[in-house]
Amino acid sequence: MTKYLLKRLLHGLVSIVIVVAIVMVLIYSLLNRALIFSNDMTYQKQQNNAKISYSFRKWQEYGYLDYVTFADYMNGLVRKGELDAETRDEAISIGRKPENDSEITAEYVEKFTKEYESKGFTVERYNAVTSRKKLASGGQQILFAHRDRPLIQRLITYFSSIVTIDTIHYVDEGTDIGERGLTFTTHDPLYGGKKFAPAIIGNGTRHKYLMYFDNQFPFFHQNLITISLGKSYSLNNGVDVLETMLNSQGSYVTRPITFPTGLKEDSADDLHTATYTEGSREVSQVLMDRFEDDYTNVTTRKNGMSKIGYSFSIGILATCLAYLLGVPIGIFMARHKEGLVDKIGTVYIVFIMAVPSLAYIFLFKAIGGSIGLPTTFDMNSTSRLMYLLPIISLALPSAANLMKWLRRYMIDQMNSDYVKFARSGGLSENEIFFKHIFKNAAIPIVHGIPGALLGALTGAIITERVYVVPGTGDFLTRAINANDNGVIVGLTMWYALLSVVAIILGDILMAIVDPRISFTDENR
Amino acid sequence: MKSELTNVSSLGVPEQELFSLVTHSDEESEKITAPRYSYWQSVFRVFFKKKINIIILGLLAVIILFAYVYPSLISYDRYANLADAQSKHLMPLDAMQKFGFNLHWILGAGAAGDPTFDTIWVGSRISISLALICALINMTIGILLGAVWGFSKKMDAIMMEIYNIVANVPYILLISVLVLVLSASFWTMVFALTVTGWLGIAYSIRVQVIIIRDREYNLASKCLGTPITRIALRNILPFLTSFIVTLAAAEIPSYISYEVFLSYIGIGLSDMSLGKLIYEAEPAMLTNGWQFEFWSPVVVASIITVVLYVAGQNLGDASDPRTHM
């Protein structure tokens, strides 16, 4: 069984890779790459050549291409020791036009061109843009080489950067940050060093606290292994998809904290999440007052749940409600076929199946609103009532679906021979229904349970939009509208992973419920 | 057990009437006496036996008339009253007071001062056409490929892989990329909905084909040397008619719903479809007195989908030979 499941999982992972590859082709190759700047204010302010080099820099950052400027090349030569700094300074500035290049510059420009063209790069040179002999804004002449990143390389980079393990070599080796290493302490300095709280603190790592305890669920946290699905560009600049989905939202929760310098202040900062940003402390007086090192980048505590938190809590409750409603009603409908409940239930199923989901969600909203339930979600409200309508709107349609299938499966089973046999054996109708028919009819239903539970993580697009729930439901559509490639790839990968896992879990659950189903090769 | 036997003499009928001698005729005995059975005749007989189906068909006729004939009879200009501030967001009664009592204003006026009733039917034509064309394309490809998929083991292995992969590519992403690449026109939408849409249909046809492929009558047919194509077309396809009709009944309204959904999240047609209408009227839902222009397209869309769905489901039931008794 384990072997079979491992095979299935591996198979699933291969299809995930292919799915990610297809999505990459869709968004990197088919879509116009200038679209990613549609919401970028910095881009719109740039002019002339500066705009060109800005867009190439961004394209490199977001994985479209490899981009090397002439200056990068020259600095690289110095680093490799093939060139001394003086020659570099002499040769690095290119002329406004190729004719104006000094002799030594021209020599290196030619070398640069030759080297990169042989690697398959395209070398481009833009002459200075001048107006009345003066440089126009952003009109500085530029010379660079670029090459579109091949799909395979992009895939490898993406998948190899999903899991990162923090090491003490994260901070650039040239930077002096004192002794690098990990320290284990039983008394976390953030609690004043008096309370017993084990922690591992790193120096030279990305995160300062690699493992620690605090008063937030699940109390033990680690930063050693970070999972990143893809960096956002326009939606949540520079932040990873998973982090965007997991970070709490709402308004800040301040409480008195003591910063490493001893400064006491009311703040929402969560000092355990400190990460390294080189040179960040010196540029800000506020950070100078608070921190003793460059581990200054902290997240804040907010009073709301994360995107996934909202989606999942609504989704899971809706799933439970759907099963609580759908299963008994479905059984009742099959048991009393052609009865009143069956007829009403069938009309309801037809309604849900045929009517556009948008229409009935608005109907639920209108009905709920007219009896006084809150129709919009407010993160700062303490009322639990606002969860009610989204949960109902999600639960009622899926209950209809459950009713439909359970009824059909049970009616199909009712005509089988084993039921006739059980009846002729003198079993009561209740016994036949619950001990025999239901057990058999429930098998395909059971298969869908893991899918329903994991599906709650992805959120519901329309429901969340209609009730303004700050969940994950509209994350993908917003990413598509904002051309946020990193988020699109990350979310696709995340959804594909969930669906692969859900199907495998469904099969396992089915095998547990039904002893006839076996995954060992001999019995299949 | 109670005896069901009746004594003939107790009926009080003369014996000649009960029994009479029939002479043997070679000619008569050659005739097959089973009642004449025509499949499609029986389908329609069963279908029209239910009174509700006649009502549903009547409604369907009205919908098609309004969606396809009505817009070509009126001169519809959405922005004809754009300059007239008094004509916007009117309730039916106010609109009829302003423009006179006629069919156009029966549902009030919309955000551009347009008659909501006319706008809805112009939009319905686009939505219904989209649904019908997509369903036609997807069903054709799906049924043909599904039948082959069910028969060929080699193809099954390949197609299952493709199915597993394509099912995991987010549908919204695919459609929006295609819309962005090709422009948001009607035919782009058709392409986007059919480029992978047939896979689901082909998959369910494949399952059905596999179920009946190895039944005894097909094995017997195969042993007698019937070619595979004939088995597929003559032995299996008739068996699937009911299934296909039921599937189509669910498919057609689902494209209307899908179009509404896509328009609502902002990836849709540029034409004035039902979905786009609902999307644009959404803010009106929250404004007192304007709700009418939001609810009318929603209700019309729901009526269209329900009528199509119920008509199809009942036709599917009627096309199942087991109901022809």
Q: Distances from the Cα of A203 to the Cαs of A168, A182, A187, A290, in angstroms?
A: 6, 6, 17, 18
pLDDT band at A318 (very low <50, low <70, confident <90, very high): very high
Q: Is the pLDDT of residue B6 over 70?
A: no
Mean pLDDT of chain A: 84
Q: Residue A329 has what pLDDT?
A: 93
Q: Distances from the Cα of A22 to the Cαs of A476, A489, A492, B194, in angstroms?
A: 16, 10, 10, 18
pTM score, whole prediction: 0.81
β-pair partners for A67? A146
Per-residue model confidence as pLDDT tens digits over A261-298: 888 888 888 888 888 888 788 888 888 888 888 888 88
Nearest 5°: CA angle at A489, between A486 and A490? 80
Per-residue model confidence as pLDDT tens digits over A436-465: 888 888 888 888 899 888 888 888 888 888
Identify the three-state secondary structure at position A193: coil
Find the closest chain A residue to B299 by CA distance: A359
Query: Of A147 and A258, which is predicted with more confidence?
Result: A147
Per-residue model confidence as pLDDT tens digits over A490-500: 888 888 899 88
Q: Residue B137 has what pLDDT?
A: 95
Query: How many domains are there within chain B?
Result: 1
Q: Which string of DSSP letters, residue by residue, matches A358-376?
A: HHHHHHHHHHHHHTT---S
Where do we find the tokens 């200075």? A128
| Mean local confidence (pLDDT), A52-79 | 85
Query: Of A341 and B101, which is predicted with more confidence?
Result: A341
Q: Is the pLDDT of residue A523 over 50?
A: no
Q: Residue A466 in contact with residue A217, Cβ under 8 Å?
A: no
Q: Residue A416 in contact with residue A364, Cβ under 8 Å?
A: no
Could you tell me if residue B34 is inside a domain? no
| Mean local confidence (pLDDT), B167-193 | 83
Could you tell me if residue B29 is inside a domain? no
Domain harbouring B248, CATH code: 1.10.3720.10
Q: Is the pLDDT of residue B95 over 80?
A: no
Q: How far apart are CA A77 and CA B36, in angstroms?
A: 93
Q: What tokens does B58 get?
A: 């009547």
Task: Please tell me the least confidently modeled range out of A360-364, A404-408, B90-94, B317-321.
Answer: B90-94
- Picking from B261, B298, B310, the nearest residue to A462 by CB comes out as B261
Phi-psi region of A250 (alpha: psi -120 to 50; beta: other; left: phi over 0): left
Per-residue model confidence as pLDDT tens digits over A357-395: 888 888 888 888 888 888 888 877 778 888 899 999 999
- Picking from B165, B176, B261, the nearest residue to A480 by CB comes out as B176
Could you tell me if residue B111 is inside a domain? yes
Find the closest chain A residue to B263 by CA distance: A358
Could you tell me if residue B26 is inside a domain? no
Q: Is B308 on the interface with A (CB under 8 A)?
A: yes
pLDDT band at A57 (very low <50, low <70, confident <90, very high): confident
Task: Please tell me the least confidently modeled range out of B66-75, B83-92, B265-274.
Answer: B83-92
Q: How far apart are CA A68 and CA A112, in angstroms?
A: 10
Q: How far apart are CA A272 and CA B266, in angstroms?
A: 40
Q: Is B309 on the interface with A (CB under 8 A)?
A: yes
| Mean local confidence (pLDDT), A320-337 | 92
Q: What tokens does A283 get?
A: 């540029």
CATH number for A307-469: choose from 2.40.50.140, 1.10.3720.10, 3.30.2080.10, 3.40.30.10.
Answer: 1.10.3720.10
Helix axes B291-318, B39-49, angle to 10 degrees: 130
Q: Is the pLDDT of residue B316 over 90?
A: no
Q: How far apart are CA B36 and CA A521, in angstroms?
A: 52
Instruction: Annotate B160-187 with b (16+ C-beta within 10 A) or e (fewer).
Output: eeebbbbbbbbebbbbbbbbbeeebeee
Mean pLDDT of chain B: 82
Q: How far apart are CA A461 and CA A235, in angstroms?
A: 17
Q: Residue B62 has what pLDDT?
A: 92
Q: Is A25 on the interface with B (CB under 8 A)?
A: no
Could you tell me if residue B276 is inside a domain? yes
Alpha helices in A25-131 (DSSP H): 41-45, 48-61, 70-80, 85-91, 103-118
Q: How close B181 gets to chain A, by Cα (Å)?
A: 6
Q: How close A305 gets to chain B, by Cα (Å)?
A: 24
| Mean local confidence (pLDDT), A31-41 | 79
> Could you tell me how far CA A76 lies from the centroid of its own chain?
35
Q: How far apart are CA A209 and CA A275, in angstroms?
A: 8
Per-residue model confidence as pLDDT tens digits over A467-476: 888 888 888 8
Can you give the residue range of the structural domain that contains B267? 39-75+90-324
The DSSP element (H or E) to which A271 belongs, if any, is strand A269-275
Share of chain B above pLDDT 70, in %: 92
Q: Residue B269 in contact with residue B185, Cβ under 8 Å?
A: yes
Share of chain A above pLDDT 90, in %: 9
| Mean local confidence (pLDDT), B12-24 | 74
Q: Is the pLDDT of residue A478 over 60?
A: yes
Q: Is the pLDDT of residue A524 over 80?
A: no
Q: Residue A316 has what pLDDT?
A: 93
| Mean local confidence (pLDDT), A188-211 | 82
Q: Is A462 on the interface with B (CB under 8 A)?
A: yes
Q: Is the peptide bond before A218 cis (omega within 30 degrees of 0)?
A: yes
Q: What tokens does A361 get?
A: 């969600």
Per-residue model confidence as pLDDT tens digits over A129-141: 887 777 778 778 8
- Picking from B174, B261, B305, the nearest residue to A26 by CB comes out as B174
Q: Is B303 on the interface with A (CB under 8 A)?
A: no
User: Which amino acid is present at B240?
Assistant: L
Per-residue model confidence as pLDDT tens digits over A108-131: 888 888 988 898 888 888 888 887
Q: Residue B136 has what pLDDT?
A: 95
Q: How far apart are CA A460 and CA B265, in angstroms?
A: 12
| Mean local confidence (pLDDT), B269-282 | 82
Q: Do B264 and A18 touch (CB under 8 A)?
A: no
CATH 1.10.3720.10 in chain A: give the residue spans: 307-469
Q: How far apart are CA A71 and CA A105, in angstroms?
A: 11
- Picking from A26, A31, A350, the nearest residue to B306 by CB comes out as A350
Q: Residue A202 in contact with residue A293, Cβ under 8 Å?
A: no
Q: Distances from the Cα of A456 to the Cαs of A323, A362, A373, A391, B126, in angstroms?
A: 14, 21, 23, 11, 34
Q: Which long-range contacts (CB under 8 A, 24 or more apart) does A367-374 make?
A: A368/A392
Identify the three-state secondary structure at position A256: strand
Q: Residue A472 has what pLDDT?
A: 87
pLDDT band at B3 (very low <50, low <70, confident <90, very high): low
The answer for A 337-376 residues in CB contact with B (under 8 A) is: 350-351, 353-359, 362
Q: Which residues from chain B sit within 8 angstroms of residue A495, using beta carbons?
A: 168, 170
Helix axes B274-285, B237-264, angle to 10 degrees: 40
| Mean local confidence (pLDDT), A475-499 | 85
Q: Residue B1 has what pLDDT?
A: 44
Q: Do A462 and B264 touch (CB under 8 A)?
A: yes
Q: How far apart are CA A317 and CA A338, in angstroms?
A: 31
Q: Residue A321 has what pLDDT?
A: 95
Q: Residue A362 in contact with residue A289, Cβ under 8 Å?
A: no
pLDDT band at B265 (very low <50, low <70, confident <90, very high): confident
Find the closest chain A residue to B168 by CA distance: A496
